[in-house]
Amino acid sequence: MLLIKKEKQLKDEITNLRKFGKKINFIPTMGNLHSGHLSLVEKAKKKDHVCLVSIFVNQLQFNDKVDFRNYPRTIEKDQFLLSEQKADILFLPNSDFISKNISNYNLGDESRKLCGKDRKGHFLGVVSVILRFLKLIEPDYMFLGEKDFQQTIIINKLINFYNFKTKIKVLPTIRNSKGIAISSRNQFIKNEVSLIQLLPQTLIQIKKDVENGGFEIKKINHYKELLEKKGIEKVNYLEILKVKNLEHLNQNYSMARIFISATISGVRLIDNILIERGVILVGGKVEMCD
């Protein structure tokens, strides 16, 4: 695996690879790699494609300074895992890779929902660094995890707005044996695994409710209260939204996802699942469509 720290070297390397007909598969990460990240690497490794992974803890997307400072940094282990996984290039930009947000970009409605409500500035920070990467790398494909589904929608919009040729591949969330979405933040709450487990359990329960005759939307509050009663510090959101644009459901057929975010012992976690068949909202009830 080639380790590159300088932009110029990366640019030259990419130009060279393209001369040999290689396509660039890019995976942006913040490091502290786990099996979720590595599943993206696995999928990005294809004949005639170069698997390029970046590790950069982007300060702009942290709305909380302490969270940024405490974010786990494990570069040596990450490097080892990536070479074991046979990634082709690891790009490790300096901390000054990006210092300010793009100012003239309208993030749109999707960015004001879910994580956009209580993480002020988060998505502007995300698109700012992704735009920087897009301009530098011009990847053919970008591999993202559906765990951060809202982010995939916002990045897709950014790509279309700036007319990049990059196509996004959204890959399934990797979970542990307890159904918990693997995340760098889980390790901060080791002693409360049973609480973390309530997140996927709630998503699955609501999905089952929808499938078994419908789900009264007002029951969302009941689920939130239940979670907080069981010891979850705060449910930041629990919503069923359209996959396409994160809008609320209505009488029109749409594919939907159930989204949750909760804070446990000061650590903010997110998760979501797809309802595999189309749904409609009638009389305050989410129902399957035939």
Please give the residue ranges that form the binding site for ligand AMP (CB under 6 A). Answer: 29-30, 36-37, 39-40, 144-145, 147-148, 173-174, 181-184
Instruction: Report the residue number, 39 or 254, with the smaller CB distance to ligand AMP.
Output: 39
Instruction: Report the residue number, 136 or 182, with the smaller CB distance to ligand AMP.
Output: 182
Distance, in Å, from the CA atom of 125 to the CA atom of 199, rounded to the nearest integer, reads 26
Q: In angstroms, what CA-CA distances link 130 with 54, 56, 67, 110?
A: 11, 11, 20, 17
Structural contact between residues 181 and 147, judged by C-beta atoms closer than 8 angstroms? yes
Least separation in angstroms between CB 274 and ligand AMP: 14
Active-site choice (37, 49, 122, 222):
37
32-35 CB contacts, 8 Å cutoff, 24+ apart: 32/71, 32/72, 32/73, 32/74, 32/78, 32/184, 33/74, 33/77, 33/78, 33/81, 33/82, 34/174, 34/182, 34/183, 34/184, 35/174, 35/182
Least separation in angstroms between CB 241 and ligand AMP: 18
Instruction: Report the residue number, 147 or 224, with the smaller CB distance to ligand AMP.
Output: 147
Instruction: Report the residue number, 189 or 226, with the smaller CB distance to ligand AMP.
Output: 189
Known catalytic residue at 122: no
Least separation in angstroms between CB 270 and ligand AMP: 10
Beta bridge partners of 280: 287
Distance, in Å, from the CA atom of 175 to the CA atom of 230, rounded to the nearest integer, reads 22
Least separation in angstroms between CB 36 and ligand AMP: 2
Instruction: Report the residue number, 246 or 249, with the smaller CB distance to ligand AMP.
Output: 246
Helix, strand, coil proportions of the chain in percent (round to 5)? 40, 25, 30
Least separation in angstroms between CB 244 and ligand AMP: 19
Structural contact between residues 263 and 227, judged by C-beta atoms closer than 8 angstroms? no
The two tokens of residue 28 are: 């942006």
Catalytic residues: 37
